[in-house]
Structure 1
């Protein structure tokens, strides 16, 4: 299933008391849709999902679906390292109207590949919603092997994977061995163009909060056959992508949004806001972010 080419892994706006800010959420959703976003991934890593309660997630997901109003697909994070809890949340989230769910590889438990397969299959079997897998070994410790992802792609409603392993050989194998209907998204902004070049569909992006139109321009240039221009875009955007990960995410992207007047508040503990020095370093990049076009 193709959810679009540039999906934004959306931050969760908080107010000064650290509660979900629904007015800011409306503004952010409209900003993203107006600036290159083809779909929203909510309640993921960038959305600070570990700090949200299940009740908060359900209320937040329902609100985002309402604001989006069918303009773009909404994919909601419902995975955790607890299979039963993931099944419970996934089945509850069906009532919010989201278009699909995203399931992260179980962290901390360190399951085997068979354990990973059974975990994802059990959750997928519990829902009628399409499922996007999320492989991010840098955070979950475990890496989903290409063989496991290929096996899971045969489960009827597992339709996509967000690949954040950084292993192009593994991504190539996944694309080669899955059907054309199974979509593979880069989970790393800097790997977008390389993954497109081996047959990937697009990116689940953090940087698109800030450079969404430019990310979309790069992707469209590649698909239109202007590889040279797409490559130039990649080189020019890469420093901005890196700046947004100079400190643990999503602190930098939230700070950048606030600097640009799209107020989303701070992060929840155990994440911390950028220091004054870190903000100053990020601020130096902001003039480069306010670009109409690149190239």
Structure 2
């Protein structure tokens, strides 16, 4: 079972919005050096909604080649069209991704039965490990625990990325889930609480700028070292909050640019971080002690 710190990686772009593969490779190398346990590519933080199909596949392929077996690659393959999600998962498998990450269909607001059939169709069509992704703040419709548990019975649906931030609901899921079904926290401010309840790791935005600390926090939680995990979380908590001061990934891409890890590129309809947002993120970086950190160049 995949455990630990799973970074929801940004997609570096040049100032004109074109993809910056050289920076992506440097960023992945840095994450692996810092201990990230897996690389999540072309997810929400990776601006999957603004890249076309060819770019989507190019990003997955680049991540697979760069990781070269050093860490698993989790490829974002979600879509609100079941046929498109199946095609993306097929491409990810062909390109060598280790897992697909498939979000609840957005905008069309499917029923719980519709969600079940959507994810079952993907799993039946593409023979690879699939991780569900529940983020009701973006998709509006969210999966119920009963639906998740139905899907957990499908052999190649192996876990869920839970970005709901609903700890009681997460506790119920962890209580009822099969032992071989992984639950990952994905709401940075509340994810450690879910770890203490038995979650298997964290899909993190904060890990983009603090990979080693997030790795240490996850490992401490898995080892039962509550005091050390809490100490790291307290240090990072302002980042957990301020990296969402504007729509993700606006703040985290600005922070990485300040660290010299990537350029300023971001695609419309997302915009660069506002001056007020910059002040908030800068203060959080300073409190975490990483404002002057330098990622791989």
TM-score (norm 1): 0.94
Deviation at 1:264, TM superposition (A): 4.1
Deviation at 1:9, TM superposition (A): 0.4
1: CA distance between counterparts of 2:284 and 2:238? 9
Matched, 1:150 2:149: yes
Deviation >6 Å, runs of 4+: none
1: CA distance between counterparts of 2:201 and 2:27? 21
Deviation at 1:283, TM superposition (A): 2.2
Q: The residue matched to 1:20 in structure 2 has which SS?
A: coil
Counterparts of 1:1-295 in structure 2 under 5 Å?
2-290=1-289
| Greater mean alpha carbon deviation, residues 119-128 or residues 212-221 | 212-221
| Greater mean alpha carbon deviation, residues 131-140 or residues 167-176 | 167-176
| Greater mean alpha carbon deviation, residues 232-241 or residues 275-284 | 275-284
2: CA distance between counterparts of 1:287 and 1:197? 27
User: Does the 8 A contact of 1:12 with 1:264 survive in 2?
Assistant: no
Deviation at 1:156, TM superposition (A): 0.9
2: CA distance between counterparts of 1:88 and 1:239? 39
1: CA distance between counterparts of 2:263 and 2:160? 28
2: CA distance between counterparts of 1:291 and 1:14? 22
User: Does the 8 A contact of 1:131 with 1:158 survive in 2?
Assistant: yes
1: CA distance between counterparts of 2:32 and 2:259? 16
Note the alpha carbon deviations across 1:153-176, whole angstroms, 9 max, x for none. Answer: 011100010001122222122222
Alignment: residue pair count: 291
1: CA distance between counterparts of 2:186 and 2:284? 22
User: Does the 8 A contact of 1:251 with 1:266 survive in 2?
Assistant: no
User: Does the 8 A contact of 2:5 with 2:38 survive in 1?
Assistant: yes
Note the alpha carbon deviations across 1:131-158, whole angstroms, 9 max, x for none. Answer: 0000000000001000000000011100
Gaps of 5+ in 1: none
Q: The residue matched to 1:285 in structure 2 has which SS?
A: helix
- RMSD of aligned residue pairs (Cα, Å): 1.5
TM-score (norm 2): 0.94
Gaps of 5+ in 2: 292-297
User: Does the 8 A contact of 2:13 with 2:262 survive in 1?
Assistant: no
User: Does the 8 A contact of 1:11 with 1:254 survive in 2?
Assistant: yes
2: CA distance between counterparts of 1:191 and 1:197? 10
